Chain A
Amino acid sequence: MTKKKAISSRKLTSEDADQLHDISGVNVYACYQCGNCSASCPAVEFMDIPPHLVIRLAQLGFIDELIEAETPWICAACITCTVKCPRGVDIAKVMEGLRQIVLRRDFEHINIREIDKKLREKLPQIALIGNFRKTIL
């Protein structure tokens, strides 16, 4: 059984958030947790952390948990969350920032060779290139 970590003041003032801020250019502290991003997200049911909690964790400095999360890789950059946000928080850019933090460390999130050859030939280029742009540095 794993214990849940309490939020400590060390976390709340964490410098981890700086890199996310630098890459995304987003001030996550404007978020007031209305949840519209999650309510409108077309892929939220596939995510381990819904978008509004991604922003909440970013506010609390839990970047380490966020870069382990599946959510940024489920996000398809449809920008619905950003358009919906009443406070102008560009959630899609935060997702991109999280992907970039991982990719700048690991270079790739998927293995191209593992994509089914038949599928690869059938898919339109924009599907492949779009995917690679988001999952490979």
Chain B
Amino acid sequence: MQVSYYPGCTLKTNAKNFETSALAVLDRLGVTAQELEDWYCCGVCFSQASDNLMQQIAPIRTLVKAKESGNPQLLTLCTMCYNTLKRSVEFIKADEEKLETIHKFMDREATRFYGDEVDVIDVLSLIKQIGLDKLKEAVVKKVKNLKIASYYGCMLLRPKEIAIDSPDDPSIMEDIILASGCENVYFPFRTECCGSYQIVNEPDIVKTRAKKIIGSALKNGADLMVILCPLCYYNLDEVQAEIRKEDPRFQTLPVLYITQLLALLLGLDLDIHDFSLHSVDPRPVLKRKGLL
């Protein structure tokens, strides 16, 4: 099976380990993710102004490329990319007039995109589509009592037009974790925002959020937290180190991309992980649980 793949900016820099682990896991599960030959920054934050068409052009350009690739599905790993691309699709589908205007700016594109030709898909939904049974079969490392807190963040669950699961009580990550042989830890803040881009000029918001989210996962017995968004990753991993500096009593929790955990469980090449990118080192707990 083959899907088109849109990496987005961060997957080529800060989140390289997300990309390498995800592509390796998908490959093991029989999916080839073919990177688009040409792609643009999605803009990260979907413009919510009804009259701002300029910001729709970049995502639509990328979707045109995806359509030209011929694959019916376009995989995004970064959840902000997923959100922006998917919402742009919904945006043009809802308003033909605006689509026409956007098309007027597509002077370099030979193809027109109308919304239904490419299905933007996130990695969780893709794994579910491949089949949880298949994932279960592919697991080579059996772990005992590895308690995972799955953190969804915002961008896969909101707004509801593009939500991959219930915004208030999702289960897709837990289903995947269960199939991979780990235990689920439910914590009440798993769908609550980490503070997002406010890390740039309102870092206190992010710190408050991170304390709450990490604290609640720890309180419910998590060994590890898995996530999907490189920004959540920064806000929950890097910021933990900062909180720790300010408050030595703060207890930390290692954070991994969910595909890193799956890669370990599937026994894939360890080089793909680049654990040096983590500020809360996950290696001790991974060793303790026999994954390293």
A–B contact, 8 Å CB criterion (strictly below): yes
Question: Chain A residues with Cβ under 8 A from B48's Cβ?
Answer: 24, 77, 90, 92-93, 95-97
Number of A-B contacts (CB under 8 A): 137
Closest chain-A Cβ to B55's Cβ sits at a distance in Å of 7
Kindly state whether residue A74 has any CB partner on chain B within 8 Å.
yes
CB 8 Å contact bits of B4-15 with A (1 = contact, 0 = none): 000011100111
| Total number of A residues with any Cβ neighbor in B under 8 Å | 40
CB within 8 Å of B: which A37-85 residues: 42-43, 45-46, 73-74, 76-80, 82-83
Q: Is the interface of A mostly helix, strand, loop or mixed?
A: helix
With known contacts A24-B50, A46-B202, A126-B9, A80–B197 Cβ distance under 8 A: no
Closest to A120 in B: B200
Kindly state whether residue B51 has any CB partner on chain A within 8 Å.
yes
Closest chain-B Cβ to A54's Cβ sits at a distance in Å of 14
Measured CB to CB, the residues of B under 8 A from A are 8-10, 13-15, 41, 43-45, 47-52, 55, 78, 80, 154, 157-160, 163, 167-168, 192-193, 195-202, 204-205, 208-209, 230-231, 233-234, 238
Complex A-B: 10 CB contacts under 8 Å: A42-B195, A74-B202, A76-B193, A76-B205, A83-B167, A100-B52, A124-B230, A125-B13, A126-B44, A127-B197
A133 and B154 contact, CB distance less than 8 A: no
Closest to B235 in A: A127
A99 and B46 CA atoms in complex are apart in Å by: 14
With known contacts A76-B196, A96-B48, A127–B231 Cβ distance under 8 A: yes
Question: Chain B residues with Cβ under 8 A from A115's Cβ?
Answer: 200-201
A100 and B200 CA atoms in complex are apart in Å by: 19
Question: Chain B residues with Cβ under 8 A from A119's Cβ?
Answer: 200
Question: Chain B residues with Cβ under 8 A from A95's Cβ?
Answer: 48
B154 and A126 contact, CB distance less than 8 A: no
A128 and B209 CA atoms in complex are apart in Å by: 19
A119 and B198 CA atoms in complex are apart in Å by: 13
Kindly state whether residue A123 has any CB partner on chain B within 8 Å.
yes
A43 and B55 CA atoms in complex are apart in Å by: 26
Question: Chain B residues with Cβ under 8 A from A92's Cβ?
Answer: 48, 159
Closest chain-A Cβ to B184's Cβ sits at a distance in Å of 23
Closest to B199 in A: A127
Kindly state whether residue A106 has any CB partner on chain B within 8 Å.
no
Seed contacts A124-B230, A130-B231, A133-B55; 17 additional CB < 8 Å A-B pairs:
A23-B51, A25-B50, A43-B193, A43-B209, A78-B154, A83-B157, A96-B47, A123-B200, A123-B234, A124-B233, A125-B41, A126-B80, A126-B197, A126-B231, A129-B44, A131-B200, A134-B45
Question: Chain B residues with Cβ under 8 A from A100's Cβ?
Answer: 49, 52
Question: Chain B residues with Cβ under 8 A from A22's Cβ?
Answer: 50-51
A83 and B49 contact, CB distance less than 8 A: no
